[in-house]
Structure 1
Amino acid sequence: MQSPYRGSAVVTSADARPHATRISWHVYSAALCGGVILLAGCGQGGTPGGGGAGMFAPTVSVEKVHASPVPNLIELPGRVEAVRSAQVRARADGIVERQIYVEGTDVAAGAPLFQIDPRDLQARLQQARASLASAQAGRSQVAGLRSRLSQLVERKAVSVQEYETAQASFQQADAALLEAQAAVDRAQLQLDYATVRSPIAGRVGRAQVSEGALVSAASATLMTQVDQLDPVFVTFHPSSAVMGELERGIASGRIEPGDSKHMRVTLLLEDGSRYPLQGETDFTEKTVDPATGSRMLRARLDNPDRRLLPGQFVRGILAAGTLRDGISLPERAVAIGEDGATVMTVNAEGVAVRQPVTLAGQAEGRWVILSGLNSGDSVIVDGWHKVQPGQHVNAQPAKAAPPGS
């Protein structure tokens, strides 16, 4: 009997395994390609840049901008100056015997700074006192003679001319006595000047003379300098264009004028930090410098910690009146980088947009915005750091925060 599988090859289990493997691989590859196509199809429905509807929309807090009265802030460069600065110069001749003070320390008015060798001045004082004693003796002698002649002239025992001569001699002796007394006072003053004292209270600088140096009253040798550092002045020199813009704003009604004689001043230090104490202007120059086209403004600020030093460069933010329709934002809503200040706004489609802004300064914990925003714009105040431009966001109204936040 012939096999029912005539003409057919007999398939063993060893022959079937490679064939089955090839079939399984083709099925797996087809399934994988189908999954990739499905994922690609899902990605096509999103917005470029990761802002598609399929992406997670972060929740952010927004504040709607409204025009309202805000301080009109002007930022100006300035320099710190001492309220009082006294150059300590020699008022007596002699050799500097010793330096009494420590450089860079605070001293009281009248504190001794240097000692000039007093021996020559002491000798001059003794000489002046001797001359005074001689003048006193001469005056006493002439006074006695005048007294006797006054009695004799009444009895006509001496001539009137003799009496008048005695009277003139007395007056000369009296003048000589006054001159001798003045010489003593002058010599005493010169001796007092040998102890060089601080004319004001303040911080004393580096010594300009060393021990053993010859100083002279005639040449007024500079010995050191004392600066009063609390309070201090800060001077600004706004251009006439800046002042003219302010005046035009006031004239048009856009700016409500304030107390121009006492404008509030906030300082920014060289490292960008804010000086903790505010001051106010106390003087405005009435004329324009023809060389620079600017006017000088001066502010006065307390400086108890001596952080502000004469000659230091600062930037001052002056509150020059009030903008009637100004825009301000919380400090935390503004990002400041190398390219300037920016905020993140939310448009009508709920998409985040980065917006450059120009800042005028800070007032009561809020940035005053000069340009870049309009009334009605929605600005992200919390959560902007986790949002990319072009991304959809879930905008919620911001809660009121205390000033300075």
Structure 2
Amino acid sequence: MKRRIHLTSAIVLLTAVIAGCSDSGSSGKNAGAAGAERPPSPVSVVAMKKAEHPLTSLLPGRADAFQTADIRPRVSGVIKQIAFKEGSEVNEGDLLYKIEDDTYRAEVAQAQASLAKAEASVPTAQSNLARYERLVNSGATQIEYENAKVTLLQAQADVAQAKAALNAAEINLALTDIKAPFEGVTSVSTFSIGNVVTANQTDKLTTLRRLDPIYIDLTESSANLLRLREAITAGRVNQPGGQIADIRLTMEDGTQYPIIGKLDMSEMAVSETTGTFSIRAVFDNPDNLILPGMYVRASVTVGKENGYLIPQRAATRNARGELTAKFVNAQNVVETRVFEQSSVSGNNWLVADGIGDGDKLIVDGFQWIGDGATVAPVEATVDENGFVVEAPKAPEAAPAAKP
């Protein structure tokens, strides 16, 4: 009887030991699984705030000279002198070319002689007319009086004709000096000293360009123009004075042109082939940094609109071309928002709907996380260019208190 009791006790004890080992192993596995879970990924976020921001358009453009003139001779002759250095700046009225003027000086002298001859006949005709006027009723006939009057008129007409011929000869003589019509920069001379040129020839002697100020010809889509007008009409965009404001340039090498330009004119017609219209801006160009033909990109401020700024680095486009960005909700879970309408404001996208004040936009770290992921948001700031994210530095730990 005692033996059976001892055997039963041993079986119960063994069962308890096995159960204990099983529970211990299960607890160990659960602890290991819990220890393997990854902590939420840190992401940099920016709190959204609605405000009025400039509305800009990024437009391609080409530089064009403010004034351009192809220099051609207006009289014929042989080039005697080239008075400018090719590619140099000249002032208005500076001599560019000198044409042999001996023939034109002779024509002036001949015209002067003809004028003197014509003027010499006027006093005689005046005396005859006065004499016939006194004698018209005492011996001179009316016909003789009328003939004397005609003779005087012819003499005066000859003087006027001689003066006109002299004026033309003097003009042709002056045109042997080919001068700059305005200040600018010359191009290569296509003719040399000794070459014969003709009046109003097809071939130009050189080209003169005025580079300060300088024009920038921009191209804008007519669809964007219609959207802008609709937004202005709806009151979403404020355009002070109804005019385009500042225009800023980015050069071919990516540098910013330091001078702000202004609108000069806009074409009141749309191209039938490209669906675009032209805008011309004018910029001061004192150092000739911009040269005709250069490609530039212009940021045109067309007005102001209330909305939220999304840095370009924090946004992407979906398959339909719509703007998307990732946000962190109140539960620190990632969600993607789609914006059907967006505009450009500097280096940012400007949206008016789909965001509320205080919403947290992910600006860094969103490339490796998907929707539904739990994250650890870290407050950050974006610089004025919209490119660099500057996370605030963690405060230094206070030194431990001494016992």
TM (norm. structure 1) is 0.71
RMSD: 3.9
CA distance in 2, matches of 1:396, 1:328: 15
The answer for the alignment partner of 2:194 in structure 1 is 212
CA distance in 1, matches of 2:309, 2:53: 7
CA deviation profile, 1:199-253 (whole Å, cap 9, x unmatched):
1122222223222222222436522222221112212232221211212323344
Instruction: Give the secondary-structure state (helix, strand or coil) at the position aligned to 2:151.
Output: helix
CA deviation profile, 1:84-120 (whole Å, cap 9, x unmatched):
2222221111111121111222211111111111111
The answer for the alignment partner of 2:36 in structure 1 is 45
The answer for the alignment partner of 1:189 in structure 2 is 171
The answer for the alignment partner of 2:243 in structure 1 is 261
**Aligned: 1:122 with 2:105:** yes
Q: Structure 1 327/312 Cα, relative in aligned 2: closer, same or farther at 3 Å?
A: same
CA distance in 2, matches of 1:103, 1:130: 41
Aligned partner (choices 63, 67, 71) of residue 84 of structure 1: 67
Structure 1 segment 141-180 matched on structure 2, within 5 A: 141-154=124-137, 156-180=138-162
1:325 is displaced (CA, Å) by 1.2
**Aligned: 1:106 with 2:97:** no
**Aligned: 1:74 with 2:57:** yes
Q: Which sits farther off after the overlay, 232-241 or 112-121?
A: 232-241
The answer for the alignment partner of 1:15 in structure 2 is none
Q: Structure 1 186/404 Cα, relative in aligned 2: closer, same or farther at 3 Å?
A: farther
CA distance in 2, matches of 1:262, 1:402: 22
Aligned partner (choices 348, 372, 391) of residue 368 of structure 1: 348
Q: Structure 1 310/353 Cα, relative in aligned 2: closer, same or farther at 3 Å?
A: farther
- Structure 1, unaligned runs of 5 or more: 1-40, 336-342
1:173 is displaced (CA, Å) by 0.9
Are the equivalent residues in 1 in contact too, given 2:55–2:301 (CA < 8 A)? yes
Are the equivalent residues in 2 in contact too, given 1:91–1:220 (CA < 8 A)? no
CA deviation profile, 1:123-171 (whole Å, cap 9, x unmatched):
11111111111111222332332233333335x2322211211110111
The answer for the alignment partner of 2:230 in structure 1 is 248
Are the equivalent residues in 2 in contact too, given 1:258–1:320 (CA < 8 A)? no
**Amino acid aligned to 1:111:** D
Q: Structure 1 326/223 Cα, relative in aligned 2: closer, same or farther at 3 Å?
A: farther
CA distance in 2, matches of 1:247, 1:217: 52
CA deviation profile, 1:339-370 (whole Å, cap 9, x unmatched):
xxxx9988568899999x998352xxxx3225
Instruction: Give the secondary-structure state (helix, strand or coil) at the position aligned to 1:238.
Output: strand
Aligned partner (choices 270, 290, 304) of residue 288 of structure 1: 270
**Amino acid aligned to 2:110:** Q
Count residues with an aligned counterpart.
Answer: 341
The answer for the alignment partner of 1:5 in structure 2 is none
The answer for the alignment partner of 2:296 in structure 1 is 314
**Amino acid aligned to 2:88:** T
Instruction: Give the secondary-structure state (helix, strand or coil) at the position aligned to 1:226.
Output: strand
Are the equivalent residues in 1 in contact too, given 2:307–2:350 (CA < 8 A)? no
